[in-house]
Amino acid sequence: MNILKALFGGSEETPEEKQKADEIRRFDMFKYDGVRAAKMGQTDYAVKCYREALKIHEDLEVRDYLSQALIRMGEFDGAREQLKVLAEAEPDNVAIAVREAQTAHMQEDYQGMAAACERAMGVDKDNALVHYLYAQAHIGQGNAVVAVAMLTRAIALDGNMIDAYLLRGRTLLDMGDTEGAGEDKEYLMTEARESEDVLLFAARVERAKGNDATALDIYNKVIEVNPFCVDAFRERGAIKYDKGDMNGAKDDMQTVLELAPEQVADINGDYSADGVEHKVRQAYSNINPLGL
């Protein structure tokens, strides 16, 4: 560039211009090195690059990248600090509030989650995802009735929102409303019957209604979909135990012990002939039959 300036009579760059150009070069280097590192799964290095870029000058896009990287690393407090800066700069950006709510949910900070949802609803009151997240916040705070109302509104806004149907159904079942939960189960079994979560929910609804045979069939399907589903083995075993099928209950509990021994307290896995009934009874004595 200096040669061109000399040829055409231009002046050389001033020290200030050189410093500015160097800052731009270094900022771009750190920013795009961070982007490449993130795409390659090198999240630690990406975070370092983004932080170095921000030391050079402020950039909301870099803060956005940094928040996402911190979330992937499980550094939720740091991510929320970045999201706070982004929210102050762009108060009408619903996506930022949504990410903050989702991050708060991972921290089980339901009050902070609710606050983020309220900000988002102030911008877009007809956003189905925001209503769904707000429902999760209410569930976390023990407000099941309000959560159901929020989920019903989310479904009205987006009739294909499977997650909202599933969460509403689970909440209704937890409240003891088997009829309401059953209605959501029927929809889900029509629209997403291959989903492990949907099948597990459907089995629990049938169990709550006393339809043990149907529940057993559905638990079998869950296990076909995922042979490592601890909940399905545990809950299927509970039905077998209640029906007097001690061998079936023993086999399912043995599988639970193998897959997740920490979930069954005081059971050592020694199923000798003399101790089978006692150990299975001990294993199932504290299990909620609905899996709730």
Contact by Cβ (8 Å): 239, 215: yes
Assigned domain for 33 exists: yes
- What are residue 34's phi and psi, to 5 degrees? -65, -45
Same domain, 8 and 65: yes
Same domain, 67 and 135: no
Decide which of 197, 220, 243 is a domain's last residue: 220
Assigned domain for 98 exists: no
DSSP class of 177:
-
pTM to 2 decimals? 0.84
Q: In angstroms, rounded to a whole number, what is the distance separating the alpha carbons of residues 136 and 109?
A: 11
Q: What is the DSSP string of 16-77?
A: HHHHHHHHHHHHHHHHHHHHHHHHTT-HHHHHHHHHHHHHHS--HHHHHHHHHHHHHTT-HH
CATH classification at residue 29:
1.25.40.10
Same domain, 84 and 14: yes
CATH classification at residue 123:
1.25.40
Decide which of 220, 240, 271 is a domain's last residue: 220
Assigned domain for 255 exists: yes
Assigned domain for 96 exists: no
Assigned domain for 184 exists: yes
Decide which of 90, 124, 151 is a domain's last residue: 90
* Number of folded domains that form the chain: 4
Same domain, 142 and 169: no
Local confidence pLDDT in tens for the 292 residues of the chain = 455 555 455 557 787 888 888 999 999 999 999 999 999 999 999 999 999 999 999 999 999 999 999 999 999 999 999 999 999 999 999 999 999 999 999 999 999 999 999 999 999 999 999 999 999 999 999 999 999 999 999 999 999 999 999 999 999 999 999 999 999 999 999 999 999 999 999 999 999 999 999 999 999 999 999 999 999 999 999 999 999 999 999 999 999 999 988 765 544 444 333 444 555 666 666 555 444 4
Domain that holds residue 146: 105-159
Same domain, 182 and 258: no
CA distances from 18 to 2, 13, 254 (A): 11, 6, 71
Same domain, 2 and 86: yes
Cα angle 227, 260, 284; round to 5: 95
